Structure 1
Amino acid sequence: MSQDLTNRPEVIDPSRAVSPQLFSFLRDRIVRSDLAPGTRLSEVEIAAHYNTSRQPVREAFIKLSEAGLIEIRPQRGSFVRRIDIASVLAAQFVREAVEADIVRAAAERITDVQARELDSILAAQRDGVDGAPSAFMALDETFHRTIATIAGQGAGWGFLESLRIQMDRVRHLSASQLPRESLVVQHTEIVEAIKAGDADGAEQKMRQHLRRVLDDIPVVTAAKPEFFIAEES
């Protein structure tokens, strides 16, 4: 399987370092499964597509390998890695612990303006239930990041990125195959608890929400078995 880079209008910003931009573009494509597991990535083709040299592409590949998203095989090429279930489970465990504390803090300090912001995000999610999975999941990211900001942990949200990557690969697959209405219901319950200042209730609802991926794994692995590995070989 070879890469297809023609379906998104990403453009390199010449005023910024190229390698981090390429890493971001390719990471997001892999997380969304636009570049499916097993896809061979060509330095030459990617460099040509983004009108850059091969060196920043090579640097981006190294970062993608460190993030567990691609496998660089000497003399054979670079390939998108399949999703490691063990990594997903570990990420879910840590993320749940962190976001449980975040949502409690949000419930204790939310303002009326911030409550309206969360309501606006929920409204956009309801409107996007039948839209593109990528757009729906972008709103999901906005939802969780906004709660972190309300909790005073906006700057720390980036530290969860490496944890979210493998988990988000499963979440994107589930968003394309499973009913999204249930995710909106869960988000709504979290927001109502936050707005009520119910820290215990908000934590409980957030934990239930983040454990949803554990229920989704058997469904998406059955639908896309070629996307997953049970353990490192």
Structure 2
Amino acid sequence: MPSRSRKTTAEVLELERLADSASDVRQVTMGHRVFLSIKRAIVHGRLVPGYPVSEVELAGQLGVSRQPVREAFIKLADMGLVEIRPQRGTFIQRISRREVENARFLREAIEVAIARRAAEVASAEAVRPLWDLVEDQARCGVLPDHSQFLALDDALHHEIARMADCERGWRLIEDLKAQMDRVRYLSISSATPADTIVSQHRILVQAIADRSPDAAEAAMRHHLREMLKSLPIVIENNADAFDL
């Protein structure tokens, strides 16, 4: 357990209160919203690695019954974000370096191919939203809260997949990159400056705009290998967050 004093779930977590509903369809939506809210809190570091989380406290803070929280815990355990210990409770998993490296490897294999296809089919009209996202991200990079910056990062990569008619590829990436996202939130202030990411994105988008598959592939590969440089720095600065 981390050496810092233990806090309650309510003290370390800020989540929007969600209105409950009796509708079966709305319950499905509500369950997904509960899952996303807790996942976001873990990825953003508001729920601290190694700490226990209370099903009762989370349900109370979200304004929902315990059932969607329990279901969220099961999904989060499958993703390696929480550990459910019978008779002991549920704990936020520390970040696994091995899982981060494996996820990065798989993401590179998928997204390099997506970038290549995007460059092959690019048009001026299709590329324009990419430039808009890069410029929006550049403006957000100077803000102290990096949440919007990283949301725009995901939006850019998603849009490239959409251009390439490979949204299923992006859904696969979303499923495997949760551990990477935890590192991204830790690295942007200490290991990988925002302007470095924006510069890499400009090179990538320019390669797609130029309809140069080789350049787009190389730019995406270089961009996704940035984490190989930043990960050791992040681990050194946040040792308590990692399970090595």
TM-score, L = length of structure 2:
0.89
Aligned counterparts, 1:136-151, within 5 A? 136-151=149-164
Structure 1, residues 68-102: CA drift from partner, whole Å, max 9, x if none? Answer: 00011122211110000000111111110100000
Equivalent residue, structure 1, for 2:236 = 222
Equivalent residue, structure 1, for 2:216 = 202
TM-score, L = length of structure 1:
0.93
Contact 1:31 1:168 in 2 (8 A): yes
Q: Which stretches in structure 2 are left out of the alignment for 5+ residues?
A: 1-5
Equivalent position SS for 2:83: strand
Q: Which stretches in structure 1 are left out of the alignment for 5+ residues?
A: none
| 1:96 is the counterpart of 2:108 | yes
Quick check: 57-66 or 175-184, which moved more?
175-184
Contact 1:22 1:60 in 2 (8 A): yes
Which amino acid is 2:124 matched to?
D
Which amino acid is 2:127 matched to?
A
Backbone CA RMSD of aligned residues:
1.5
How far residue 142 of structure 1 moved from its aligned partner, in angstroms, is 0.4
Equivalent residue, structure 1, for 2:94 = 82
Contact 2:103 2:176 in 1 (8 A): yes
| 1:21 is the counterpart of 2:33 | yes
Structure 1, residues 41-64: CA drift from partner, whole Å, max 9, x if none? Answer: 111111111222112211111111
Q: Among 167, 176, 180, which residue is 2:194 paired with?
A: 180
Change in CA separation of 1:6 and 1:219 when aligned onto 2, cut-off 3 Å: closer
Equivalent position SS for 1:177: coil
Change in CA separation of 1:189 and 1:12 when aligned onto 2, cut-off 3 Å: farther
Which amino acid is 2:239 matched to?
P
How far residue 10 of structure 1 moved from its aligned partner, in angstroms, is 5.2
Equivalent residue, structure 1, for 2:80 = 68
Change in CA separation of 1:159 and 1:187 when aligned onto 2, cut-off 3 Å: same
- Aligned equivalents of 1:188 and 1:58: distance in 2? 42
Quick check: 14-23 or 53-62, which moved more?
14-23
| 1:162 is the counterpart of 2:175 | yes
Equivalent residue, structure 2, for 1:126 = 138
Which amino acid is 1:173 matched to?
L
Aligned counterparts, 1:40-51, within 5 A? 40-51=52-63
User: How many residue pairs end up in the alignment?
Assistant: 230
Change in CA separation of 1:96 and 1:6 when aligned onto 2, cut-off 3 Å: closer
Quick check: 220-229 or 161-170, which moved more?
161-170
Report percent identity of matched pairs: 40
